[in-house]
Amino acid sequence: MKLNIAVLAGDGIGPEIVAQALRVTQAVAKKFGHELHSTEALVGAVAIDATGNPYPEATHEICMKSDAVLFGAIGHPRFDNDPSAKVRPEQGLLAMRKKLGLYANIRPLITFPSLLDKSPLKTDRIEGADFVVIRELTGGMYFGEPQGRSEDGNTSYDTCIYTRMEVERILKLSFEFAMKRNKRLTVVDKANVLATSRLWRQIAKEMEPQYPEVAVEYMFVDNAAMQLIQWPKRFDVMVTENMFGDILTDEASVIAGSMGMLPSASIGIHTSVFEPIHGSYPQAAGKNIANPCATILSVAMLFEYAYSLGKEAALIRKAVEASLVAGAVTEDLTDDKSKALSTSAVGDWIVDYVNRVER
């Protein structure tokens, strides 16, 4: 099969982790006889420096012509520390989501037995946790208009807007995910306060009869935030709006022991994007110490969702888990920093595993 992938490394640790993920992609493609073509493009702060635009039209054209996008991270301290900046790296991410129609962010959360002691939560609470958070990605507060602040700088405002179409399509995807898993769906909202949440709940209840096998529960976001920590194993598929999903998925990352282990897929109308959930981690940029596993696991999702290549995806997950068991990990996953491997050394280990194991 021909694999045509756009590679957007972005900022901070993005180039380092994407380089290792691309090596794994190449190794898997070769092992299974696929023809891989990858095209690099600019996004984020590096794109602003080069073109003045965090998501240049040339980058968008490359994404549209590709089967999938492998994405690293965006963000730079010089923009974070300048609230008056008119152009920001994060605008590139939002533009990419909007222009590619990436309405659903899928974030699986599983626990790795060898990393249970890395979580701040008790082992008996998290062992066996396995759920998926589906976050709406192109609506809500992050995209609502009007948005701005007063001329005197004393008042700011953001608008949260959702349409029936936006809610229905993300709920449909979530019900379908639940049907493929354990037939349990948690709809997270704030319907006791927010009008947009009441629309979400209304539509979800209207759709329930279409999926009679799915057990649906409704949970306010503050309660969901608490229960994620108290009883993470009670969840199977969770769906929520943009901002709530942003917050809850970062909270859920502590269950796995490190944000460096969590992949994601952004699915939509055009080309889908596969990326780690963590940010650009500028403090580690260029030091070869960042954990590449979330990005490598995102490649597993790429094979699975973009090409329906389940065996390739399974091999990547098997390789990552083997590296954890062997202690071939970066400094975020070991208490003895002297035994930590570099980003590239972890990549070496996983590529070597892919090359030597049976298909």
What domains does the chain contain, in order, with CATH numbers? 1-102+263-359 (3.40.718.10), 120-256 (3.40.718.10)
DSSP element (H, E) containing 176: helix 164-180
pTM of the full structure: 0.90
The pLDDT of residue 102 is 95
Q: Identify whether the C-beta of residue 273 lies closer than 8 Å to the C-beta of residue 169.
A: no
Q: How far does the chain reach from its first CA to its final CA, in angstroms?
A: 16
Reported as a single tens digit per residue, the pLDDT across 178-228 is 999 999 999 999 999 999 999 999 999 999 999 999 999 999 999 999 999
Residues of the chain with pLDDT under 50: none
Note if 236 is an active site residue: no
Q: Identify whether the C-beta of residue 320 lies closer than 8 Å to the C-beta of residue 45.
A: no
Q: Identify whether the C-beta of residue 10 lies closer than 8 Å to the C-beta of residue 72.
A: yes
CB burial of 189-210 (b: ≥16 within 10 Å; e: otherwise) equals bbbeebebbebbbebbeebbee
Q: Which of 99, 190, 281, 332 does the annotation list as catalytic?
A: 190
The pLDDT of residue 84 is 73
- For residues 76 and 89, give the distance between their C-alpha atoms in angstroms, rounded to a whole number: 7
Q: Cβ neighbours of residue 197 under 8 Å, at least 6 residues apart?
A: 189, 190, 191, 241
The pLDDT of residue 128 is 93
8-state DSSP, 122: -
The pLDDT of residue 50 is 96
Q: Identify whether the C-beta of residue 295 lies closer than 8 Å to the C-beta of residue 327.
A: no
Q: Which of 11, 55, 99, 142 does the annotation list as catalytic?
A: 142
Residue among 8, 259, 250, 280 at smallest CA distance from 133: 250
Note if 11 is an active site residue: no
- CA–chain centroid gap for 297, Å, is 10
Please give the backbone phi and psi of residue 33, each rounded to the nearest 5 degrees, phi first. 75, 25
- For residues 267 and 104, give the distance between their C-alpha atoms in angstroms, rounded to a whole number: 5
Q: Cβ neighbours of residue 103 under 8 Å, at least 6 residues apart?
A: 136, 137, 138, 139, 166, 169, 170, 267, 268, 269
Note if 190 is an active site residue: yes
Q: Which long-range contacts (CB under 8 A, 24 or more apart) does 329-337 make?
A: 329/291, 330/260, 330/289, 330/290, 330/291, 330/292, 331/289, 332/258, 332/260, 332/291, 333/115, 333/118, 333/257, 333/258, 333/260, 333/291
- For residues 312 and 134, give the distance between their C-alpha atoms in angstroms, rounded to a whole number: 23
Note if 246 is an active site residue: yes
The pLDDT of residue 273 is 98
- For residues 7 and 24, give the distance between their C-alpha atoms in angstroms, rounded to a whole number: 13
Q: Where are the beta strands (DSSP E) in the chain?
A: 2-10, 35-40, 68-73, 104-110, 130-136, 148-149, 156-157, 184-189, 215-220, 237-240, 263-267, 272-276
Q: Which of 30, 49, 157, 222 does the annotation list as catalytic?
A: 222
Q: Which of 130, 250, 348, 352 does the annotation list as catalytic?
A: 250
- For residues 309 and 303, give the distance between their C-alpha atoms in angstroms, rounded to a whole number: 5
What's at 250, amino acid-wise?
D
Note if 250 is an active site residue: yes
Tell me how far CA of residue 305 lies from CA of 41, 245, 264, 265, 318, in angstroms.
22, 21, 11, 8, 17
